[in-house]
Amino acid sequence: MIDTLKPLLEVRNLKKHFPIRRGLLKRTAGYVRAVDDVSFFIMPGETLGLVGESGCGKTTAGRCLLRLIEPTAGEILFGESQDSRPIDVTKLDMASLKSYRRNIQIIFQDPYSSLDPRMSVADIVSEPLRIHKVASGSELEDRVANLLKSVGLQAAHLRRYPHSFSGGQRQRIGIARALALGPKMIVCDEPVSALDVSVQAQVLNVLEDLQDQFGLTYLFISHDLNVVDHISDRVAVMYVGKMVELARTTELFEHPLHPYTEALISALPQPDPRKKRDRILLTGDVANPADPPSGCYFHPRCRYAQDICNTEAPSWREIIPGHFAACHFAGEINLRPLSKPLIMKG
């Protein structure tokens, strides 16, 4: 990482609270703190992995970056180029928002609901181009054909409809659509979670190849640590709306600083029958974002919890250069790192 390089995207104190409405008059009874004061940055050309379990807010955070969900508070600073000042996405009006959306795109999790079944592949992939009136006629068709080729599909597929494609192919169509406007960054929202194992590899390879070819930046959201490890340069871990740790990938797995990260790593099933199973098992279930515990949200399940964890929420600090964590005892407790699998590829 070159120190003089400015981040492509910087998020400061992002919050998204969904009001819970009760009663006839829809009074606000409370809030679901889906994203609760999250700050991070992404450098151009890198892949930032965002992991967490259900309800941690990773999907919401990703969508806030495109303002598909309107943030409740916080700033999202997007740096168009290294020279100009970054723009605050949260303050854009509708017209500027439309042109901002050429810079950052999204791929969805479900390949079956993310493509309009009534539109041909050509129409689906060209839609962003048509909305922005970038091209038309035969030039449009050429561009679409090229996009399909770059994701490994054929121009012959232009006239087909989504139902004749498998999950992996549909996901690639979605990727082609996301590429149409030439964005700098793509938010990948669990792009391989709904796919078969052998197909995941195809799509992951396509994403990596495209990153090399077009210099893309990815925010890769997933609950699968294996996949995130494979593709990410840095990883951020979220729990119930809070970011609890952020570090370079290898660093995160070799020297985790937050007990939740430790538990996640330990819970991961490894495809190696000879490894000793010595899991750290958490008690209880993932906390409820509408009614989180006091102090540190993780403290009821944490085996290192002390009194302070109940009363005071930990702050987000840089413990080692480039390695952030939100824990009162980060760096003081000896947490168990990932145990590497023995060589097993026969």
Partner 1 sequence: MASEAGLSAPDTKLSPDTVDQELAPYAASTAEWVGLSQGQLIWRRFRRSRMALIGMVVLIILYIGMLFCEFFSPYLLNTRFTDNIFEPPTLPRWVDAEGQFHLRPFIYKYDRKVNRETLEMTYTADTSKMYPIYFFVQGEPYKLWGIIATNIHLYGINDKKVPIFIWGSDRQGRDLFTRCLYGSRVSLTIGLVGVFLTIIFGTTLGVTSGYFGGRIDDFVQRFSELLMSIPQIPLWMALAAIVPVTWPPLRVYFGITIILSFLSWGGLARQLRSKTLSLREEGYTLAAKAGGGSDWWVISRHLIPNNASHIIVVATLAVPSMILAETALSFLGLGIRAPMTSWGVLLEEAQNVKTIVLNPWLLIPAFLVILTVLGYNFLGDGLRDAVDPYTR
Partner 2 sequence: MIPIQPVSQDDQMVIEVKDLAVHFAVFQGRVPAVNGVSFTIERGKTLGVVGESGCGKSVTGLSIMHLLPTPPAELVGGEIIFHRLSTGEVIDITKLSPQSAEMRSIRGNDIAMIFQEPMTSMTPAYTIGEQIMEAVILHQKVNKREARQRAVEMLDRVGMPQPGRNVDSYPHQLSGGMLQRAMIAAALSCQPSLLIADEPTTALDVTTAAQILDLMGQLQDEMGMAIMHVSHNLGVVAEVANEVAVMYLGRIVERSSVDDLFYNPKHPYTRGLMHSIPQIGQRQRLEPIRGVVPEPDAIPKGCAFAPRCPLFSPATCPPIVPPSVTVGPGHEVLCYRYDS
- The residues that touch partner 2, with contacts defined as CB under 8 A, are 53-54, 166, 168-169, 196-202, 204-205, 208, 223, 225-227, 229-231, 253, 263-274, 277, 279, 281-282, 284-286, 338, 340-341, 344-346
Q: How far is the CB of 212 from partner 1 (least distance, A)?
A: 12
Kindly report each contact of residues 116-119 with a partner whose C-beta sits within 8 Å and lies 24 or more positions away, as own/partner: 116/162, 117/161, 117/162, 117/163, 118/161, 119/161, 119/162
Closer of 42 and 225 to partner 2 (Cβ)? 225
Residue with tokens 């030439």: 182
- Other CB atoms closer than 10 Å to residue 136's CB: what's the count? 11
- Per-residue binding string, partner 1, 83-112, x by CB under 8 A, is ---------------xx-xx--xx-x-x-x
Q: How far is the CB of 129 from partner 2 (least distance, A)?
A: 28
Q: How far is the CB of 92 from partner 2 (least distance, A)?
A: 35
Sign of the Cα torsion 183, 184, 186, 187 reads negative
Angle subtended at Cα 147 by Cα 141 and Cα 148, rounded to the nearest 5 degrees = 90
Q: Are 178 and 107 in contact (CB under 8 A)?
A: yes
The separation between CA 87 and the C-alpha centre of its own chain, rounded to angstroms, equals 21
Q: How far is the CB of 115 from partner 1 (least distance, A)?
A: 6
Query: Which option in partner 1, partner 2, none does residue 271 bind, with CB closer than 5 to 8 A by kind?
Result: partner 2
Among 87, 92, 140, 181, binds partner 1 (CB under 8 A): 181
Q: How far is the CB of 280 from partner 2 (least distance, A)?
A: 9
Alpha-carbon distances, residue 20 vs 16, 25, 32, 59, 107 (angstroms): 13, 12, 7, 19, 28
Q: How far is the CB of 184 from partner 2 (least distance, A)?
A: 24
Closer of 125 and 207 to partner 2 (Cβ)? 207
Alpha-carbon distance of 43 to 246, in angstroms, equals 14
Residue with tokens 């992002």: 14
Alpha-carbon distance of 127 to 243, in angstroms, equals 35
Alpha-carbon distance of 102 to 227, in angstroms, equals 27
Residue 182 binding partner 1, by CB under 8 A: no
Closer of 78 and 165 to partner 2 (Cβ)? 165
Alpha-carbon distance of 221 to 49, in angstroms, equals 6
Query: Which option in partner 1, partner 2, none does residue 29 bind, with CB closer than 5 to 8 A by kind?
Result: none
Query: Which option in partner 1, partner 2, none does residue 231 bind, with CB closer than 5 to 8 A by kind?
Result: partner 2
Query: Which option in partner 1, partner 2, none does residue 276 bind, with CB closer than 5 to 8 A by kind?
Result: none
Alpha-carbon distance of 217 to 186, in angstroms, equals 6
Which residues in this chain contact partner 1 in the complex, by CB under 8 A? 66, 68, 98-99, 101-102, 105-106, 108, 110, 112-118, 120, 124, 127-128, 131-132, 151-154, 157, 159-164, 166, 168-169, 172, 174, 177, 180-181, 202, 205-206, 209
